[in-house]
């Protein structure tokens, strides 16, 4: 009986801790959004964060996109050839990249790279009193550290996804024309004929949401880290894992919103 | 005469642990108060409550006779803008060069343009014995003593009316500790500021403080002029200042 009660108590504690964390995250996000609208604004910090999140993530996102497009073309060819439907490869590649794989894979890569860096930087600032020091220098840490990253994440990821979309389609084009013997003009025409504005826009909206999630989770975990180097490490891990899971969950929710009829 | 800083009945608990159990403290304008106490006695919590980094559970904090809790947010921030703080480990922003660290408060308040801020930072660096060329270095390139000097320069750059020093000599050798203490005294006197320092370094306490107070079990148990630290006649203070194992202070040990 006692063992059963202990198990129930443990489950209850975990559920309460989860609710508490969700509440803290929601309040943190709302505080961030509130401060986005109120001066002072730190344009230099936004630009610096844009560089960190966008520009420096470009190589890893570009490589991921181009190889994903190449693999997609190759895999779909082996499947579609059985039904003599090779002509649909261009359609499949462009829709998969723009609607799903571009934003999701770019989001996961940026979560691993920039989200982790954000959590580590803010976590280190927390445990070395740098965040407290900001407060004594007439600077609101939420405005100075969190808001620029939220803005930068929301703007930079769609820009990265535009590049990822182009490179992903290029990867498919390279494999289709150089390896599978497709006519390059026909492949490009098929790609452009099937592509609609909604496909690109939905991917970019997803990217903006994912960028916000990455910045939010990186900042939330770093800002609230405790306990020295171990705490910073735990915050970094938590930032990447939670952002990755939320990206996949929100991908489903946004897909439902955009495409369910 | 209204004290520059007055703390009354300040209480703060973390879970079951009552860290501050009704702290009363007064610091007259233009004087220096040193708060001593053992590790974990709540000195840093007291400081963080006063400067607004931790919300106290109860109590009143007054600056120039004005209760900070009774002010709206902007007025409270304006009061706290009069405060400068030297953190225990410097807490320098490692993403910024030294000069931007020093001028951070000035730039944040929009008080000066960047070019003027740079010149001001170099002047303040000179006041703490650092060359202008140090301004271009990163904090990670500095020694512990230099980081303390830069932290002090940052704290005094906006010429605050009240200055707080959290363990200013921790981690420094005795000579560098004495140099930092001398700089603190010089800066406080030159600016005419009111200063509060927390420390468990007795030599530092006597060098910096006009007055001293002992924090023990969440309360101020003794206060007097700092030169009486070593002959206070108070059993708690005597045990602490002479570093005796036996006495009324029982260190919490986990077995």
Residue-wise pLDDT for B124-182, tens only, equals: 999 888 999 999 999 999 998 899 999 999 998 988 999 999 988 888 888 888 888 88
Q: What is residue A260's three-state secondary structure?
A: coil
Q: Mean of the per-residue pLDDT values for chain B? A: 89
Which residues numbered 137-196 in A keep a CB inside 8 Å of some CB on B?
137-139
Cβ neighbours of B88 in A, within 8 Å: 129
Domain span at residue B246 reads 1-82+193-255
Cβ neighbours of A127 in B, within 8 Å: none
ipTM of the shown complex: 0.86
In angstroms, rounded to a whole number, what is the distance separating the alpha carbons of residues A39 and A54?
24
Start-to-end Cα distance in chain B: 50
Strands B194-199 and B17-27: unpaired
Token pair recorded at residue B175 = 């000579």
In angstroms, rounded to a whole number, what is the distance separating the alpha carbons of residues B255 and B253?
6
Least confident of A171-175, B25-29, B46-50, B250-254: B250-254
Q: pLDDT band at residue B251, thresholds of 50, 70 and 90?
A: low
Residue B214 lies in a domain: yes
Residue B136 lies in a domain: no
In angstroms, rounded to a whole number, what is the distance separating the alpha carbons of residues B58 and B37?
21
Cβ neighbours of A133 in B, within 8 Å: 85, 87, 91-93
From the list B48, B80, B93, the residue facing A130 with the nearest CB is B93
Percent of chain B at pLDDT exceeding 70: 98
Q: In B44-161, at which residue ranges do the beta strands (DSSP E only) sit?
A: 58-63, 66-67, 83-86
Sheet architecture: strand order including B32-36: B83-86, B162-166, B194-199, B32-36, B211-216, B219-225
Residue B163 lies in a domain: no
- What residues pair up with A23 in beta bridges, in sequence order? none
Q: Quote the number of domains for chain B.
A: 1
Q: pLDDT band at residue B255, thresholds of 50, 70 and 90?
A: very low
**Quick one: pLDDT at residue B82?**
86
- For the stretch B93-132, what's the b/e string if a residue is b when 16 or more beta carbons lie within 10 angstroms of its beta carbon? beeebbbbbbbbbbbbeeeeeeeebbebbbebbebbbbee
CATH code (residue B224) = 3.40.50.300
CA distance A197 to chain B (A): 41
Residue B116 lies in a domain: no
> DSSP letters along B153-166, please?
HHHHTT--SEEEEE
In angstroms, rounded to a whole number, what is the distance separating the alpha carbons of residues A224 and A25?
10
**Quick one: pLDDT at residue B177?**
85
**Quick one: pLDDT at residue B252?**
59
- In the Cβ-directed half-sphere of B73, how many Cα atoms lie within 13 Å? 2
Q: What residues in chain A have per-residue pLDDT under 70? A: 261
In angstroms, rounded to a whole number, what is the distance separating the alpha carbons of residues A125 and A116?
14
């Amino acid at each position: 009986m006692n063992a059963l009660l202990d198990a129930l108590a443990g489950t209850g504690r975990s559920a309460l801790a989860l609710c508490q964390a969700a509440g803290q995250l929601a309040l943190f996000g709302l505080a961030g959004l509130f401060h986005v609208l109120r001066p002072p604004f730190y344009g230099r910090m936004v630009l610096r964060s844009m560089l960190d999140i966008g520009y420096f993530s470009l190589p890893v996102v570009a490589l991921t996109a181009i190889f994903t497009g190449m693999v997609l073309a190759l895999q779909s060819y082996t499947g579609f050839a059985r039904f003599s439907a090779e002509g649909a490869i261009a359609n499949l590649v462009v829709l998969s990249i723009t609607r799903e794989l571009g934003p999701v894979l770019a989001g996961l890569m940026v979560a691993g790279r920039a989200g982790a860096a954000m959590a580590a930087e803010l976590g280190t600032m927390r445990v070395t009193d740098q965040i407290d020091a900001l407060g004594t220098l007439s600077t609101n840490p939420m405005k100075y550290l969190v808001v620029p990253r939220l803005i930068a994440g929301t703007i930079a990821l769609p820009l990265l996804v535009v590049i990822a979309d182009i490179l992903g389609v290029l990867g498919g084009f390279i494999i289709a024309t150089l390896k599978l013997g497709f006519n390059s003009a026909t492949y490009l025409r098929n790609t452009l004929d099937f592509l609609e504005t909604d496909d690109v826009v939905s991917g970019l909206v997803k990217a903006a949401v994912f960028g916000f999630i990455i910045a939010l989770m990186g900042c939330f975990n770093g800002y609230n880290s405790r306990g020295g180097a171990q705490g910073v490490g735990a915050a970094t891990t938590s930032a990447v894992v939670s952002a990755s899971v939320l990206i996949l969950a929100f991908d489903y929710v946004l897909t439902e919103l955009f495409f369910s009829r | 005469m209204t004290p520059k800083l007055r703390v009354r009945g300040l209480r703060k608990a973390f879970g079951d642990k009552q860290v501050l159990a009704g702290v009363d403290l007064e610091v007259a304008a233009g004087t220096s108060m040193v708060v001593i106490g053992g590790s974990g006695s709540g000195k840093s919590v007291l400081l963080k409550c006063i400067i607004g980094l931790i919300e106290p559970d109860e109590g009143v904090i007054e600056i120039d006779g004005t209760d900070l809790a009774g002010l709206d947010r902007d007025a409270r921030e304006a009061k706290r803008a009069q405060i400068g703080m030297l953190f225990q480990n410097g807490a320098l922003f490692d993403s910024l060069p030294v000069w931007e660290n020093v001028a951070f408060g000035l730039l944040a308040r929009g008080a000066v343009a960047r070019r003027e801020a740079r010149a001001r930072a170099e002047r303040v660096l000179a006041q703490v014995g650092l060359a202008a060329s140090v301004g271009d270095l990163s904090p990670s390139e500095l020694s512990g003593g230099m980081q303390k000097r830069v932290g002090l320069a940052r704290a005094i750059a906006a010429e605050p009316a009240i200055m707080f020093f959290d363990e200013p000599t921790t981690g420094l050798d005795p000579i560098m500790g004495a140099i930092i203490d001398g700089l603190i005294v010089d800066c406080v006197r030159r600016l005419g500021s009111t200063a509060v320092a927390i420390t468990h370094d007795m030599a530092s306490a006597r060098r910096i403080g006009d007055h001293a107070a002992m924090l023990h079990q969440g309360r101020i148990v003794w206060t007097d002029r700092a030169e009486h630290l070593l002959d206070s006649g108070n059993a708690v203070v005597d045990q602490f200042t002479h570093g005796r194992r036996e006495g009324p202070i029982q260190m919490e040990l986990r077995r």
